[in-house]
Homo-oligomer: A and B are copies of this chain.
Amino acid sequence: MTQKKKVVVVGGGFAGMHAAKQLGKSRDCDVIIIDRRNHHLFQPLLYQVAMAGLDPSDIASPIRSMLNRYSNISTLLGEVTRIDTDKQIVHSDVGELPYDYLVVACGAMHHYFGHDEWEAFAPGLKNIPQATEIRRRVLMAFESAERTNDKRQQDCWLTFVLVGGGPTGVELAGAIAEMAKNTLKRDFKTIDASLARVIVVQSGDRILNQFPEPLSEYAKGALESLGVEVRLGDRVTHVDAQGVWLGDERIEAYTVIWAAGVKANPIGKTLGTETDRAGRVVVESDLSIPGHPEVFVIGDLAAAKDSQGNPLPGLAPVAMQEGSYVGKLIRQKASGDSSHTQKPFEYRDKGQMATIGRRRAVLQSGGMTMKGTLAWLGWLFVHIVYLNGFRNRMFVFFSWAWSYVTFARGARLIVPKTWQITGEESQVHPDAPLPVAAGGASSEGREPSAS
Contacts and interface: CB of A to CB of B under 8 A. Distances in A.
Given A148-B438, A438-B148, A413 B137 contact: no
A44 interface: no
A237 interface: yes
A119 B430 contact: no
B147 A78 contact: yes
Interface residues of A, number: 100
A415 B255 CA distance: 23
A133 interface: yes
Contacts of A391: 402, 406, 408, 410
A398 B394 contact: yes
A441 B238 contact: no
Interface stretch (A182-190, A201-209, A299-307, A308-316): A182-190
Contacts of A439: 149-150, 153
A136 to B, nearest CB: 8
A190 B133 CA distance: 35
A372 interface: no
Contacts of A110: 421
Interface stretch (A16-24, A52-60, A227-235): A52-60
A68 to B, nearest CB: 5
A286 to B, nearest CB: 30
A130 B426 CA distance: 13
Interface string A172-199: 0000000000000011111000000000
Given A38-B412, A55-B56, A417-B129, A64 B428 contact: no
A65 B240 CA distance: 32
Closest 7 CB pairs of A and B: A238-B448, A129-B419, A120-B426, A57-B411, A55-B55, A133-B419, A64-B187
23 contacts: A38-B412, A38-B413, A39-B413, A39-B414, A55-B57, A56-B413, A65-B408, A68-B186, A76-B147, A77-B146, A129-B417, A132-B415, A137-B429, A141-B431, A148-B438, A153-B436, A237-B448, A238-B450, A243-B446, A254-B434, A391-B410, A394-B398, A395-B410
